[in-house]
Structure formats: structure tokens, C-alpha cells
């Protein structure tokens, strides 16, 4: 009888041990969950063959993910939308030898809208390693609604533009970096109604004419809470389109590198007509913080360390305002020569 009771006790002890081992294992599994995919419905470029090691050319893989959305259902004309996700590259950057391309295909619907999303400025970095037009290129076909978020586009002193938006409306750039373009860091060419906010445009390897350039056919854009740093002529150049809004942007003209990178631009901001400039700050310029070049421009509450505003007249018989060739510096020699053939009635600065 004694032996039988001992057997029952040992069996009970073993059962208790097995119970706690099983529950202990379950507790450990609960404390160490499987990794969570923060973009479960996005196309991850690593799944399309991108290396993200700063060695391999990742442009084909990134463009393949974009094309997967653009050619959904096997028909490039079918309207669609979706997200391409660029996680933190394992080796520091996505190296490219040709542009990352977003196309328009002539669709005017919001259904044709692709989002490029990263993990943050300076984290998800796409870097040019050959001469090209732009790191990110939106083609010359019109569409609306592309969004770019939490990404760095580094032209690396090789690409003309970090971002070149040839055509399209209602593009949205949020927490984006455009770096080291040889011509500029962001250029908007045509259509407009784009939104650029909380972004950073900077050059430490180049000294381009502009950080941000808005061409004459790009209008009604909004720029809010951006930083533009290190340019030769102007940090933000509104070339002639007008009707844009600039709120709380900050322009710098000096950097950490050797001259000429420590030089100030001629102007921090060059305005066109019917634009609104509110709360923008100029920290460094050789001529003036603002070149107000156009009619019906609202410049309000914009602090400047140097002479605040230079006013330029426009020819009364011309539909568009022109830059003054006398006391106000012209952005390009070509424009100066053109203006000398059509002299101004007057020009003054203050």
C-alpha cells in the first residue's frame, strides 16, 4: 500500500511539472511575438529584389514594385492606386543608377494614385550613384494624387534634381528630404496644386542655383514648414507661375562645408505674381531676403536678417511681371539679356 501511494505521488508531481513547463513555454511565446508587418497591404521593395546595401543597383526592383501597381490587371490603362513601401535599407541606402519613375498615363482620376512611403527622413534613403535627371522623376503625363512620405532622395552631386515633378496635380510631399542636386533639389514644372510640407532641401556636396524651383506652368502650390539650405541665387524661386502659398518656411545660406558652401544666396525668396508669403524667415542673403517680383503679391510677417525686401517693377504693357535688370539682380543671364531688349520703366529697392 505504501508503494502504491508513492507511485501516485510521483505521478502527480510529474503531471504538475509538465503543466508548468507547458504554460511556461506559452508565456515565453506570448512575450516574444512574431514581427509585425507595419505595411501589410503595401508592396515591399525588398520582396521585389531590392538589396538596400548601397552596393547593388536597386532601381529595377523599386520600379518593378511601382510597375506592379501601375499595370494591375495587366492593363496599363486601368485606373488603380496602392502603396510601395521602402523599409529601412539593411545596408544604409538604396543605390540607384537610373531614376525612380512615377508615371501619369493621362489619368485624371484619383484612382490612379501611388504612394511611396519610407520609415523616415535619413532612414529610408535612395541615393544616386550615376548621372541622371533625377532620383525621383514624375513623368510628363498628367495625373493627380501621388504621395511621397518619409523618404530621402539624395542626388549625391550626380543627378540634376533630387525630385523632378514634370507634370501632375495634387502631389503630396510630407517629411521628405531632397539633397545635393546639381540644378536644384525640387523642381515643379507643370500643372500645380501640389503640397510640400515639413520637408528639408539641403546641399552639402553641390552649390546649385536653387533649392526649390517652381516653373511658370506650375501654379496654386502650397509650401508649409519647409527648410531650404544652401543655394547660389535663391533658396525658393517662384519663376513666374504665381498664385502659390508659402507659409512658415525657413531659408538658410550657409553650411558646414568650405566655400562656396558658406556663401549666401542673392535672395532667400523670389516671388511671382498673386502669391502669398506669410511667416517665412530669411537667415542669409547678399541682396535681400525677398525679391518681390510681380503684382498682387502678399508678403506679411516675414523676418529677414538682411535688407528685407527688394521691389521690382514690371513692364506695364506685359501680361507677366519681369525681373528688373538695373538694381535688382536677375536670376539668369538669359533673362537679363531679354530684359535689356525690353527696358523697364523704373526700378527701385529698399
Tally of domains in the chain: 1
- Rounded Cα gap, residues 210 and 243, in angstroms: 20
Q: Is residue 36 part of a domain?
A: no
Q: Is residue 178 part of a domain?
A: yes
Of 191 and 321, the one with more pLDDT:
191
Q: Is residue 24 part of a domain?
A: no
Instruction: Evaluate whether 304 touches 268 at the Cβ level (below 8 Å).
Output: yes
The pLDDT tens digits for 67-115 are 888 766 455 555 567 899 999 999 999 999 999 999 876 544 455 688 9
Of 335 and 98, the one with more pLDDT:
98
Mean pLDDT, rounded, for 48-65: 96
Angstrom distances, CA of residue 232 to CA of 85, 288, 327:
34, 13, 18
The pLDDT tens digits for 236-252 are 999 877 789 999 999 98
Q: Is residue 12 part of a domain?
A: no
Which of 297, 311, 291, 172 has the alpha carbon at shortest distance from 242?
Answer: 297
Q: Is residue 19 part of a domain?
A: no
Question: Which CATH number characterizes residue 254's domain?
Answer: 2.160.20.10
Band (12; pLDDT cuts 50, 70, 90): low
Mean pLDDT, rounded, for 191-219: 93
Instruction: Residue 121: give the domain boundaries.
Output: 41-341
The pLDDT tens digits for 17-52 are 544 454 544 444 444 444 445 666 789 999 999 999
Q: Is residue 25 part of a domain?
A: no
Q: Is residue 176 part of a domain?
A: yes
Which of 266, 214, 199, 267 has the alpha carbon at shortest distance from 244?
Answer: 214
The pLDDT tens digits for 139-152 are 888 888 899 999 99
pLDDT confidence of residue 197: 97
Mean pLDDT, rounded, for 190-201: 94
Mean pLDDT, rounded, for 278-298: 83
Q: Is residue 33 part of a domain?
A: no
The pLDDT tens digits for 118-142 are 999 999 999 999 999 999 999 888 8
Instruction: Evaluate whether 122 touches 147 at the Cβ level (below 8 Å).
Output: no
Amino acid at each position: 500500500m505504501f508503494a502504491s501511494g508513492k507511485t501516485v505521488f510521483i505521478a502527480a508531481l510529474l503531471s504538475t511539472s509538465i503543466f508548468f513547463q507547458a504554460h511556461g513555454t506559452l508565456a515565453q511565446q506570448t512575450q516574444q511575438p512574431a514581427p509585425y508587418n507595419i505595411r501589410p497591404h503595401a508592396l515591399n521593395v525588398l520582396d521585389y529584389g531590392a538589396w538596400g546595401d548601397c552596393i547593388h543597383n536597386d532601381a529595377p526592383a523599386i520600379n518593378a514594385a511601382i510597375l506592379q501597381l501601375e499595370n494591375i490587371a495587366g492593363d496599363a490603362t486601368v485606373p488603380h492606386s496602392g502603396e510601395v513601401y521602402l523599409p529601412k535599407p539593411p545596408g544604409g541606402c538604396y543605390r540607384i543608377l537610373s531614376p525612380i519613375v512615377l508615371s501619369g498615363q493621362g489619368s485624371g482620376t484619383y484612382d490612379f494614385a501611388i504612394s511611396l512611403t519610407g520609415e523616415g527622413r535619413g532612414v529610408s534613403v535612395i541615393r544616386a550613384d550615376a548621372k541622371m535627371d533625377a532620383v525621383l522623376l514624375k513623368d510628363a503625363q498628367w495625373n493627380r494624387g501621388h504621395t511621397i512620405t518619409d523618404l530621402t532622395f539624395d542626388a549625391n552631386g550626380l543627378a540634376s534634381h533630387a525630385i523632378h515633378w514634370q507634370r501632375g496635380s495634387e502631389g503630396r510631399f510630407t517629411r521628405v528630404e531632397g539633397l545635393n542636386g546639381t540644378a536644384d533639389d525640387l523642381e515643379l514644372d507643370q500643372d500645380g496644386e501640389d503640397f510640400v510640407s515639413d520637408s528639408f532641401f539641403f546641399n552639402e556636396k553641390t552649390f546649385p542655383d536653387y533649392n526649390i524651383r517652381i516653373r511658370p506652368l506650375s501654379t496654386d502650390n502650397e509650401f508649409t514648414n519647409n527648410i531650404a539650405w544652401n543655394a547660389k541665387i535663391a533658396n525658393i524661386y517662384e519663376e513666374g507661375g504665381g498664385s502659390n502659398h508659402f507659409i512658415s518656411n525657413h531659408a538658410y545660406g550657409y553650411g558646414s562645408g568650405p566655400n562656396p558652401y558658406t556663401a549666401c544666396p542673392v535672395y532667400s525668396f523670389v516671388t511671382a505674381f498673386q502669391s502669398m508669403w506669410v511667416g517665412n524667415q530669411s537667415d542669409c542673403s547678399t541682396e535681400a531676403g525677398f525679391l518681390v517680383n510681380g503684382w498682387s503679391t502678399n508678403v506679411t510677417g516675414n523676418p529677414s536678417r538682411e535688407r528685407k525686401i527688394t521691389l521690382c517693377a514690371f513692364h506695364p504693357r506685359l501680361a507677366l511681371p519681369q525681373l528688373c535688370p538695373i538694381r535688382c539682380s536677375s536670376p539668369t543671364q538669359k533673362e537679363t539679356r531679354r530684359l535689356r531688349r525690353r527696358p523697364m520703366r523704373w526700378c527701385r529697392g529698399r
